Amino acid sequence: MEEIHIQCPYCLQAISILLDCGVYGCETVIDDCEVCCRPIEVSYIVEDGEIKTYSYNSIEGNEF
């Protein structure tokens, strides 16, 4: 597992997410923000047991 630090696309708070490095290639996971509990889609690429790149997006509208 590797911890990444991102800014929640909904509440804009700094949060951390754990990603599995035991896979190879592209992986997509959905994790909830630890502050506002809204879902965030995280896509990442693992090579040789390390996360090479990642991106994240909201998966619902930003309306309140």
pLDDT in tens, 51-63: 999 999 998 765 4
Q: Which residues pair with 5 in a beta bridge?
A: 16
In the block, tokens 């992986």 appear at 27
pLDDT in tens, 12-46: 999 999 999 998 999 999 999 999 999 999 999 99
Rounded to an integer, what distance in angstroms lies between the CA atom of residue 6 and that of residue 3? 10
The model carries a pTM of 0.84
